[in-house]
């Protein structure tokens, strides 16, 4: 019996390790490449570890291109999007759960329908609209298209639906306006959902390459993934070492943020009944 249990554990553990290895391999390869000297990168044989650490790739990454600029752009864009998304999604979600108004069901249906539309579909109309407004090639072009997040509305709605009506009524009796209730009562209670949403939002927009490629052309507005593309030099060929070093640097903040917010993130997902 005991042997069988150990065996089944060993099998499941082995499968999990295999899965982890498959997922981690590209990251490992990225870091390995970022530390290899240029001639080693193009060797025929596969070598997991560099023969010696070539830290110079990282120096080149920062000096050849304004990598700091890309990172700061990424922070500006992600923070701008996240703050505006929350400013819009939280009151919307509150209205959809705790208020009664005509057409509520229709609005909710539209939110759900909105979840099904991939944002690439709207890219061309958005591009044309922004061009009419003469906003292309600006931070506004990177931020504005994403500020109304149906996913955010949906996630907060799921969370607000669990807030007892009595609590909202108590706040009304205590003299809070509806907006005060949103920000003083509902939003602090939805903190786990907000963390989960923040992780989703930041990851999506930090990594996004599609929209920055369309919306901006000036290098000084490039977000991190867009900036990495500048390492692919058309004339001099690609310098893969620095490119990989830049990629590693660009990935690092996300990994750090997720590790820090991990618990709240998982809590936020399980508490909204949005598992998986």
Partner 1 sequence: MIQLKSLTRIFDDKPVLDAINLEIPEGSFTSLLGPSGCGKSTLLRILAGLDQPSAGTLLFDGEDVREKSATLRNIAMVFQSYALYPHMTVRANIGLPLAMRSMSRLERLPLVTALLPSARRKRAANGREVERIAAMLGLTELLERKPSELSGGQKQRVAVGRALVRDPKAFLFDEPLSNLDTKLRGQMREEISLLHKQTGKTFIYVTHDQTEAMSLSDQVAVMMEGHILQVAPPRILYSRPANTKVAAFVGEHPINLLTVKPVGTALQSPFGAFVLSEAWDGDIILGLRPENIALVENGPLQGRVTRVDYLGGHTLLDVELSEGICLRVADEEGPLVPAVGNVVQLSIAPQKIHLFKAESGERLPLEVRQRGEAV
Q: H helices within the chain, ranges in order?
A: 2-34, 38-41, 56-64, 67-98, 104-115, 123-132, 139-143, 150-160, 165-173, 178-180, 187-189, 191-207, 210-215, 224-228, 240-271
26 in contact with partner 1 (CB under 8 A): no
Regarding 237 and contact with partner 1 (CB under 8 A), the answer is: no
Residue 264 near partner 1 by CB under 8 A: no
Distance in Å, CB of 191 to partner 1, minimum = 8
Task: State in angstroms the smallest separation of the CB of 120 from partner 1.
Answer: 39
* Shortest distance in whole angstroms from residue 177 CB to partner 1: 9
Q: Is 1 in the site for partner 1 (CB under 8 A)?
A: no
Q: Please report how the helices 150-160 and 240-271 are oriented relative to each other, as an axis angle in degrees rounded to 10.
A: 30
For position 233 contacting partner 1 by CB under 8 A, the verdict is no
- Distance in angstroms (rounded) separating the CA atoms of residues 186 and 168: 8
The only residue of 23, 116, 121, 173 in contact with partner 1, by rule CB under 8 A: 173
Residue 233: helix, strand or coil by DSSP? strand
Q: Return the number of the residue (153 or 185) whose C-beta is nearest partner 1.
A: 185
Quick one: which segment of 7-15, 42-50, 185-193, 231-239 binds partner 1 (CB under 8 A)?
A: 185-193
Cα separation of 227 and 225, whole Å?
Answer: 5
Binding of residue 189 to partner 1 (CB under 8 A): yes
Which positions from 58 to 87 touch partner 1 by CB under 8 A, shown as an x/- string? ------------------------------
Cα Rg, the chain, nearest whole Å: 23
Residue selected from 9, 43, 124, 174 as contacting partner 1 according to rule CB under 8 A: 174
CB 242 within 8 A of CB 233: no
Select the span of 101-109, 122-130, 169-177, 195-203 touching partner 1 (CB under 8 A): 169-177
> Taking the alpha carbons of 110, 112, 118, 123 in that order, is the dihedral positive or negative?
positive
Q: Which stretch binds partner 1 (CB under 8 A): 13-21, 55-63, 75-83, 164-172?
A: 164-172
193 and 272 Cβ atoms separated by less than 8 Å = yes
What does the per-residue mask of binding to partner 1 show for 112-151, with x meaning CB under 8 A?
Answer: ----------------------------------------
CA dihedral 39→44→50→55, nearest 10 degrees, is 30
> Per rule CB under 8 A, is residue 236 in the interface with partner 1?
no
Q: Strand 232-233 to strand 237-238: parallel, antiparallel, or no bridges (unpaired)?
A: antiparallel
Q: Which residues bind partner 1 (CB under 8 A)?
A: 164, 166-167, 169-176, 180, 184-185, 188-189, 191
């Amino acid at each position: 019996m005991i042997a069988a249990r150990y065996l089944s554990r060993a099998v499941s553990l082995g499968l999990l390790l295999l899965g982890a290895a498959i997922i981690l391999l590209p990251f490992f390869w990225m870091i390995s490449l970022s530390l290899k000297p240029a001639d080693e990168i193009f060797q025929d044989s596969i070598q997991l570890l560099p023969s010696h650490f070539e830290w110079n790739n990282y120096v080149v990454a920062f000096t050849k291109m304004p990598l700091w600029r890309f990172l700061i752009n990424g922070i500006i864009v992600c923070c701008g999007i996240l703050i505006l998304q929350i400013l819009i999604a939280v009151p919307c979600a509150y209205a959809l759960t705790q208020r009664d108004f005509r057409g509520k069901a229709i609005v909710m249906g539209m939110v759900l329908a909105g979840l099904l539309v991939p944002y690439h579909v709207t890219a061309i109309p958005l591009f044309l609209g922004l061009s009419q407004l003469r906003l292309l090639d600006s931070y506004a072009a990177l931020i504005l298209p994403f500020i109304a997040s149906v996913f955010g509305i949906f996630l907060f709605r799921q969370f607000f639906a669990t807030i007892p009506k009595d609590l909202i009524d108590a706040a009304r009796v205590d003299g809070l306006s509806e907006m005060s209730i949103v920000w003083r009562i509902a939003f602090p209670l939805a903190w786990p959902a907000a963390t989960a949403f923040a992780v989703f939002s930041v990851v999506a927009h930090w990594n996004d390459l599609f929209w920055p490629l369309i919306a901006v052309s000036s290098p000084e507005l490039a977000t991190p993934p867009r900036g990495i593309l500048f390492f692919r030099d058309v004339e001099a060929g690609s310098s893969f070492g620095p490119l990989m070093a830049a990629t590693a640097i660009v990935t690092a903040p996300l990994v750090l943020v997720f590790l820090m917010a991990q618990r709240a993130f998982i809590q936020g997902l399980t508490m909204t009944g949005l598992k998986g």
